[in-house]
Amino acid sequence: MFDTTSPKDWKMEYTSLGGTGLQVSRINYFDNAEAYGNPRGNCEILFGEALKQLQKTDPYLYRRTDLVITTKFFWAPSGHPQSIQRRFDYSYNGINEYGTSRKHIMESIDKSLKRLQLDYIDVVYAHRFDALTPVLEVVRAFTDVVKSGKAHYWGTSMWPSWRIIQAFHLAQQYNLIPPIVEQPKYNLFDRHYVEDHYLPVFDHPYNIGTTIWGALDGGILSGKYNSGEVPKGSRLDKASRLTFFDPNIPKHKLEKLQKLQLIAQRLETTVSVLSIAWCLKNKHVSVVLLGATKASQLETFAAIKVQDKLTPSIMQEIEEIIQNKPKLDTNLYGPFFRIPNARL
């Protein structure tokens, strides 16, 4: 029997985003990107319209000062109706409508603010690393965005860790503003970014926070694919607009899912809630990003309570099922794990 208490009855936990004083949780953090939607940019438009309606309904509950609203720049909308959210599809984009050049960043912030109907954005991200644009140019551009008051902080998504370190030191050298957060992929099946690659930037002086995506591995950890079949209209459906998800579900994942399902049942929850709760247990995870297309999918907020049920013994059971814990290189981290972040 699953937990049927209302989310209103749950105690929300907040955490600082990286080394800042900004307090975030799954309930006050809203993720956008100029690339999201059909056509691109439509996600920001819909969010802006929805927020205005909610603020009319309850101005206090949805007051701007209590919300953390973010967006990301890399793949800009071109205005063409066929410019949709497809991976590596730039058919309808001009040469300067993607990347993180100063021109793109400065144009994107103004257009995003207009689509979102906002005066400022709390955190703006470089959606991917742009090998063509010098890192110093990126840092200068985001610094100017923040100093202009159009954003409060900036961060990165899926950047190489050494590039984040480079951005930090360039900011120190030239009296600019460094990134404060990284948005990497992280879930039960994809652990190497958060548990290995980004370990150096979680420490002082970088103090990078994370807002992780892919917690359900493209829906695989939702349990909807346990039979091995792909439901029509799901993310892995070939007819889906999200064609960059691989529709082929590895057999080893399905086998592990069935075992995870047994643990979920013992904890009186679902495998999707269990998967999110597992992510929340990692001290380096500031926010778990999730997208819902149905009201029923909001059950995942139960992960707030379920994470307390994940005792060391339960976590070890999960570890024995997935068997994919990154093995830290002792040449980098030392054989005695004197670095606190290495104790994972």
- First and final CA of the chain: distance in angstroms? 32
| Sign, Cα dihedral of 341, 276, 217, 30 | negative
User: So what's the pLDDT on residue 284?
Assistant: 97
User: So what's the pLDDT on residue 234?
Assistant: 55
- Containing H/E element for 164? helix 161-173
Catalytic residue among 36, 98, 125, 186: 36
Instruction: Render each residue's pLDDT in the chain as its tens digit; 344 residues.
Output: 445 455 555 567 899 999 999 999 989 999 999 999 888 899 999 999 999 999 999 999 999 999 999 999 999 988 776 666 555 566 778 899 999 999 999 999 999 999 999 999 999 999 999 999 999 999 999 999 999 999 999 999 999 999 999 999 999 999 999 999 999 999 999 999 999 999 999 999 999 999 999 999 989 999 877 655 666 655 555 555 555 556 678 889 999 999 999 999 999 999 999 999 999 999 999 999 998 778 777 888 899 999 999 999 999 999 999 999 999 887 777 655 555 554 44
Rounded-to-integer distance, Cα 197 and Cα 160, Å = 8
pTM (2 decimals)? Answer: 0.89
Three-state DSSP class for residue 4: coil
Rounded-to-integer distance, Cα 59 and Cα 269, Å = 34
Q: What angle (nearest 5°) sits at the alpha carbon of residue 283, between those of residues 63 and 169?
A: 85
CA 49 to chain centre: 22
User: So what's the pLDDT on residue 54?
Assistant: 97
Neighbours of 153 (CB within 10 A): 23
CA 219 to chain centre: 15
Rounded-to-integer distance, Cα 183 and Cα 287, Å = 9
Three-state DSSP class for residue 101: coil
Provide the token pair at 38.
Answer: 């059909």
Q: Which of 26, 9, 23 is nearest to 298 (CA)?
A: 26
DSSP bridge partners of 29: 68
Are the CB atoms for 88 and 50 separated by under 8 Å? no
Instruction: Write phi, then psi, for 92 (nearest 5 degrees).
Output: -110, 20
Domains located in the chain, CATH noted: 14-183 (3.20.20.100)
Instruction: Give the full edge-to-edge strand order of the sheet including 151-156.
Output: 29-30, 68-73, 121-126, 151-156, 181-182, 209-212, 287-288
Reply yes or no on whether 125 is catalytic: no
Three-state DSSP class for residue 154: strand
Three-state DSSP class for residue 16: strand
Instruction: Write phi, then psi, for 288 (nearest 5 degrees).
Output: -100, 115
Scanning the structure block, which residue is given the tokens 């980004």?
A: 198
| Sign, Cα dihedral of 147, 148, 153, 157 | negative
